[in-house]
A and B are shown apart, each in its own frame.
Chain A
Amino acid sequence: MSRSVWLLVWMALGIAAAVVLVSGPRTVAAGAQTQSSMAEVKIDNFSFGPATLTVAAGTTVTWTNRDDIPHTVVSDDKAFKSKVLDTDEKFSFTFTKPGTYGYFCSIHPKMTGKVLVQ
């Protein structure tokens, strides 16, 4: 094997190690850059669960309404807005940019939640 090929192999191993070291326990988050990851929020008893969800950029969050009453998922700054969700209906949104995204149910505005995108 030529020296240049060995160099490439060592470089590849070094990058892989660096990725593991930098991302540490958040390897799933690092993986999100190549294959999108998913997260879920359940709507039960007029509340979002979890009320605060932390995800990596690129994550698709899916809300599922498990109440007998329709709800919506609307971000405070209108970054995303679902249609009305009847029982068992879902809404998904992919968070590409880091930040804090507050949202609420526009039918029952006492219902609020937050997605922290890192």
Chain B
Amino acid sequence: MIKKVTDEILHDHNADGIDRRGFLKCMAWAGTGALCVMQGGVLKSYSLSRLSDLGPSAAAAGELSFVQVSDSHMGFNKPANPDVAGTLKAAVDKINGLSNAPEFLLHTGDISHLSKPEEFDTVDQILKGTGKEVFFVPGEHDVLNDDGAQFRERYGKAAKGSGWYSFEKKGVHFIGLVNVMNLKAGGLGTLGHEQLEWLEDDVKHLKHSTPIVVFAHIPLWSVYPEWGWGTDDSAQALAYLKKFGSVTVLNGHIHQTMQKVEGSITFHTAASTAFPQPQPGKADSPGPMKVPAEQLRSILGITDVNYLRGQQALAVVDSSLA
């Protein structure tokens, strides 16, 4: 059963500000969304139901708007969602209906369920319906049997190593990382030495005022290590980003929305477009969660991100497919 969201939010979304030194857990569970506005390194978050409390500047169109899509798991056909193509199409409809049209899409992995060519083909075809450029990073389901060769052939020809890369859009520096390769027994996600060295070099010459957006499949913060929801060497990666005034980390993998702020770094996980997974520790395993059919689309979703130049703000809005 899905619990009512209000029971689960660990932080008062309507507080005026957040202690930036504190260890804040601000979680917006599946079934709702949150708008996060970061200003001068301080994040303010509001539950979507209280959007009317916001001033017009926060809700206004920014300099840059993009959408995060995650965990489409094309090919999955179990009872938790027998029509993952249908729900991905619903996500595309949602994106096309946004009042503030996104410039591009980020897909944070698990594009396919079993790394089959036809699964990738179907996702590509459906996402073409947005008419937008899509930037991908792989999930563990996208690199099965071939160590990611097919993924890189399709989406990472210009990428380094196992598929990491960076690019600029309107003054925002985007970094796509790969943490699903060479996983070790008993361990979590892994970035690896080579990728960490590349990251250090990639951000070395950037001004501290450059807004940074990092996207990777497995969370780069320790959500729930018991279920493998974390990355072993993420602390090293984050150390290279600490000097920046505004860092937003976007992940997938856990099929539910969650947020956390540590200093100037905001972490955010996106909902899946395919099926929900249980809250940490609330089930025997992180396997697909079956919910009544009429509830399914309300707990799948997309994430819309807005950057407002001058205000150093990134606004992150989750919306369901319902």
Contact = CB atoms under 8 A, between A and B. Distances in A.
Contact of B186 (A67, A84, A86, A109): A109
A45 B141 CA distance: 17
B215 to A, nearest CB: 20
B226 A110 contact: yes
Interface string B268-293: 00000000000000001111100000
Contact of A47 (B140, B184, B185, B285): B285
A109 B184 contact: yes
A45 B283 CA distance: 9
A101 to B, nearest CB: 12
Contacts of B228: 108-110
B81 to A, nearest CB: 10
A27 interface: no
Size band of the interface chain B makes with A: 20 to 34
Given A45-B287, A47-B285, A109-B185, A68 B78 contact: yes
Interface in A17-60: 45-47
Most buried by B among A86, A106, A112: A106
Interface in A80-114: 83-84, 86-87, 102-104, 106-110, 112
Contacts of A83: 145
Greatest chain A CB density within 10 A among B80, B140, B225 is at B140
Interface string B4-47: 00000000000000000000000000000000000000000000
B187 interface: yes
B149 interface: no
B145 A84 contact: yes
Interface in B197-226: 225-226
Given A70-B114, A84-B115, A112 B185 contact: yes
B227 interface: yes
Nearest to A108: B228
A69 B225 CA distance: 19
A110 B227 contact: yes
B113 interface: yes
B186 A112 contact: yes
A112 to B, nearest CB: 5
Nearest to B226: A110
A42 B186 CA distance: 19
A84 B185 contact: no
Contacts of A68: 78-80, 287-288
Given A68-B80, A84-B115, A102 B144 contact: no
B314 interface: no
A109 B115 contact: no
A46 B286 contact: yes
Contact of B78 (A87, A103, A107, A108): A87
B2 interface: no
Contacts of A86: 114
A109 B114 CA distance: 17
A76 B37 CA distance: 45
A104 B140 CA distance: 15
Contact of A107 (B79, B141, B184): B141
A109 B188 contact: yes
Contacts of B114: 70, 84, 86
A103 B226 CA distance: 18
A83 to B, nearest CB: 6
B184 to A, nearest CB: 6
B183 interface: yes
Given A83-B145, A84-B145, 19 more contacts: A45-B285, A46-B227, A46-B285, A46-B287, A47-B285, A68-B79, A68-B80, A70-B141, A76-B185, A84-B144, A104-B186, A107-B140, A107-B144, A107-B183, A108-B140, A108-B228, A109-B183, A109-B187, A112-B186
7 closest cross-chain pairs (CB), A and B: A104-B185, A46-B285, A45-B285, A109-B183, A110-B228, A68-B78, A84-B144
12 contacts: A68-B78, A69-B287, A72-B144, A76-B185, A83-B145, A103-B185, A107-B183, A108-B228, A109-B185, A109-B187, A110-B225, A110-B227
